[in-house]
């Protein structure tokens, strides 16, 4: 696992791990000897309730993305399908990506909503000079991962909405403009 990838936040994966482990109810709370290269390090940073939910989700829907603040045994658990992520709500908590053995990072949550947040996403020839396409591309010292993740729920960048509008207009049946009509 690469802990120093580019995203909305510097060292996003390490910051998420540090936040999770600092929670008093985290299984790893207070442990000093955490190996960040351990493939189960994110799982160890969960709370016992989150781990219980994860195990229940994995038993019924292996390989999906799970919303760990929703109890899957209650019938209201939120999981992805093999093809689509479940709707993100504002308080989505941790969305655990089973195949990656970790939860989705804030930049990934924004990317699933269509925000152009991946560096070079729209300027692959020259990523160092990529334009700022949304406010998340502008560096802010006070930006925290939990705030970014909450902003991803129930929001969408205008680009996907533009595509949906264009698609809708293309599907409309157009009537021919009469030849007698003048501008």
pLDDT of residue 46: 96
CA–CA distances in Å: residue 58 to residues 40, 104, 140, 166? 15, 16, 37, 39
Question: Is 178 within a domain?
Answer: no
Question: Is 181 within a domain?
Answer: no
Question: Is 132 within a domain?
Answer: yes
* 8 Å CB contact between 157 and 113: yes
Question: Is 16 within a domain?
Answer: yes
Question: Is 135 within a domain?
Answer: yes
Give tens-digit pLDDT for 30-80.
Answer: 877 777 788 899 999 999 999 999 999 999 999 999 999 989 998 878 788
Our count of domains for the chain comes to: 1
Question: Is 120 within a domain?
Answer: yes
Give tens-digit pLDDT for 72-102.
Answer: 998 878 788 888 888 777 777 889 999 999 9
Domain extent, residue 20, equals: 12-171
Question: Is 176 within a domain?
Answer: no
């Amino acid at each position: 696992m690469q802990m120093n990838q580019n995203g909305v936040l510097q060292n996003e994966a390490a910051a998420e791990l540090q936040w999770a482990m600092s929670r008093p109810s985290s299984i790893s709370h207070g442990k000093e000897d955490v190996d960040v290269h351990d493939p189960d390090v994110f799982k160890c940073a969960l709370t016992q309730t989150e781990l219980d939910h994860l195990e229940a989700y994995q038993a019924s829907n292996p390989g999906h993305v799970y919303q760990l603040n929703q109890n899957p045994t209650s019938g209201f658990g939120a999981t992805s399908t093999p093809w689509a992520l479940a709707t993100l709500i504002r308080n989505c908590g941790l969305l655990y990506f089973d195949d990656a053995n970790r939860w989705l990072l804030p930049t990934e949550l924004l990317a699933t909503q269509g925000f152009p947040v991946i560096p070079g996403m729209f300027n692959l020839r020259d990523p160092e000079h990529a334009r700022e396409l949304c406010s998340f591309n502008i560096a802010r010292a006070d930006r925290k991962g939990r705030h970014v993740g909450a902003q991803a729920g129930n929001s969408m960048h205008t680009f996907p909405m533009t595509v949906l509008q264009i698609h809708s207009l293309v599907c409309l049946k157009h009537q021919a403009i009469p030849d007698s009509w003048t501008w």
